[in-house]
């Protein structure tokens, strides 16, 4: 693919400095397609003037919008798309997440606005959101018909998409998630001398991420297990009063719980290195589902055994019995037993951690980009 200069416009509402799995996916797919020789231009939401930019290997255009899914934001994006329609007409337009898809749904019937190639990526929850509303169901179906190619990160999301929108069948390619291209593990000296077993969750504070399920499972452990552990929670952006609920629950018992809020990548790497077990017990929450979870790979790459719920695409990020333990989401006693097993057995933690490191390195972003764009 090197030597080509096909224009590729990646349009997103989820980009640096925003954090999260979709933002990471978007950034890495832009880097990978640029590495493959495409002439990449990323259109992203506005950033605060104080945001320290990065040396991107592609052009970056900041749009005058916040990147929400409301109508005002969609109209602003539509104006940008219409203003640049001559450049987009002969290019590949890639929409890697639902924000810009909503704008494109409203533009797709304008004959003068038809990109040469239209490529979409679905992550999971947006499929259910689009499908439950008759208007967006019809518009999304039409957009899928017009798409040249579509990708999902997991087989689970692919099945979900094709069940709700059968017209996607035959167009869907798998673009598995991988570690960040700048990911590195740097071990802190003396980390093994700690007395406590650290159980870590890294995720935005949202009911779907299941921090409350992990907290309650740990609180239910016998005193001899509770006194051996600390529960560390990294993440911000609490919704529905969830962060306040977590803090109230944490204050009820004698379990040591520490809330870090949002941290930088450098701080997060140090926290991973100090942890012993990674837990993210995601659950289905309305139409919000766990399509994959790149954070499971990051934790595994740090050599952490993973405990999670067997929902959505989690089983494609965590191999039960090999890199971690997965339990059904409605079995709190089974979840508590999984924690007991790993707290009491350092050798088992090490076995799962070693396998996790190998598992986390199996995919590469360039493979996903090549499968989708070539």
pLDDT digits (tens, 9 = 90+) for 336-353: 999 999 999 999 999 999
Homologous superfamily (CATH) for 7-175: Glycogen Phosphorylase B; (3.40.50.2000)
Q: In this structure, are residues 109 and 82 in contact, taking their beta carbons and an 8 Å threshold? A: no
Residue ranges covered by each domain of the chain: 7-175, 191-360
Q: Which of 353, 350, 321, 351 is nearest to 338 (CA)?
A: 321
Query: Mean pLDDT in the chain?
Result: 93
Q: Rounded to 5 degrees, what angle do the CA atoms 292, 293, 296 make?
A: 125
- β-pairing verdict for 92-95 and 7-11: parallel
Q: Is there a shared CATH topology between the 7-175 domain and the 191-360 domain?
A: yes
Q: What was the pLDDT predicted at 374?
A: 83
Using 50, 70 and 90 to split pLDDT, how confident is the model at 85? very high
In the predicted model, what is the mean pLDDT of residues 141-167? 97
Q: What is the pTM of this model?
A: 0.92
Strand ranges (DSSP E) for the chain? 7-11, 39-44, 59-62, 92-95, 117-122, 149-152, 172-174, 197-202, 229-234, 256-261, 277-280, 306-309, 324-327
| Alpha-carbon gap, residue 205 to 279, rounded angstroms | 14
Using 50, 70 and 90 to split pLDDT, how confident is the model at 188? low
Which three-class secondary structure state does DSSP give residue 274?
helix
Q: In this structure, are residues 148 and 234 in contact, taking their beta carbons and an 8 Å threshold? A: no
pLDDT score of 192 more than 80: no
Q: What was the pLDDT predicted at 3?
A: 44
Residue 150 structure tokens: 């579509």
pLDDT digits (tens, 9 = 90+) for 11-57: 999 999 998 899 999 999 999 999 999 999 999 999 988 887 789 99
Rg (CA), the chain: 21
Strand ranges (DSSP E) for 82-234? 92-95, 117-122, 149-152, 172-174, 197-202, 229-234
User: In the CATH scheme, what is the code of domain 191-360?
Assistant: 3.40.50.2000
Q: Tokens 């494609």 identify what position?
A: 316
Tell me which of 41-55, 159-173, 325-339 is least confident. Answer: 41-55
């Amino acid at each position: 693919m090197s030597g080509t200069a096909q224009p590729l416009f990646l349009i997103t509402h989820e980009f640096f400095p925003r954090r999260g799995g979709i933002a990471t996916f978007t950034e890495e797919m832009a880097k990978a397609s640029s590495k493959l020789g495409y002439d990449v231009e990323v259109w992203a939401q506005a950033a605060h003037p104080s945001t320290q930019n990065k040396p991107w290997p592609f052009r970056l255009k900041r749009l005058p919008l916040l990147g929400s899914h409301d109508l005002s934001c969609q109209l602003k994006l539509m104006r940008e798309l219409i203003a640049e329609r001559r450049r987009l007409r002969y290019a590949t337009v890639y929409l890697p997440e639902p924000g810009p898809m909503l704008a494109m749904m409203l533009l797709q019937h304008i004959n003068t606005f038809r990109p040469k190639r239209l490529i979409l990526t679905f992550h999971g929850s947006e499929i259910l959101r689009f499908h439950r509303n008759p208007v967006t169901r019809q518009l999304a179906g039409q957009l899928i018909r017009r798409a040249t190619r579509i990708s999902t990160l997991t087989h689970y999301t692919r099945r979900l998409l094709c069940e709700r929108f059968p017209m996607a069948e035959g167009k869907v390619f798998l673009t598995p998630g991988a570690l960040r291209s700048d990911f590195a593990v740097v071990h802190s000296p003396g980390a093994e001398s700690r007395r406590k077993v650290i159980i870590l969750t890294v995720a935005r504070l949202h009911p779907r991420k299941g921090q409350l399920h992990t907290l309650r499972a740990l609180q239910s452990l016998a005193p001899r297990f509770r006194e051996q552990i600390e529960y560390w929670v990294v993440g911000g952006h609490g919704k529905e009063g969830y962060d306040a609920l977590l803090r109230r629950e944490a204050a009820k018992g004698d379990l040591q719980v520490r809330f870090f809020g949002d941290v930088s990548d450098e701080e997060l790497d140090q926290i991973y290195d100090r942890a012993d077990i990674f837990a993210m017990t995601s659950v289905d929450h309305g139409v919000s589902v766990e399509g994959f979870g790149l954070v499971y790979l990051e934790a595994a790459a740090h050599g952490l055994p993973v405990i999670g719920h067997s929902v959505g695409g989690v089983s494609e990020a965590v191999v039960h019995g090999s890199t971690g333990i997965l339990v059904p989401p409605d079995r709190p006693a089974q979840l508590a037993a999984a924690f007991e097993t790993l707290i009491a057995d350092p050798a088992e933690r090490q076995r799962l951690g070693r396998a996790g490191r190998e598992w986390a390195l199996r995919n590469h972003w360039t493979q996903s980009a090549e499968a989708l764009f070539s």
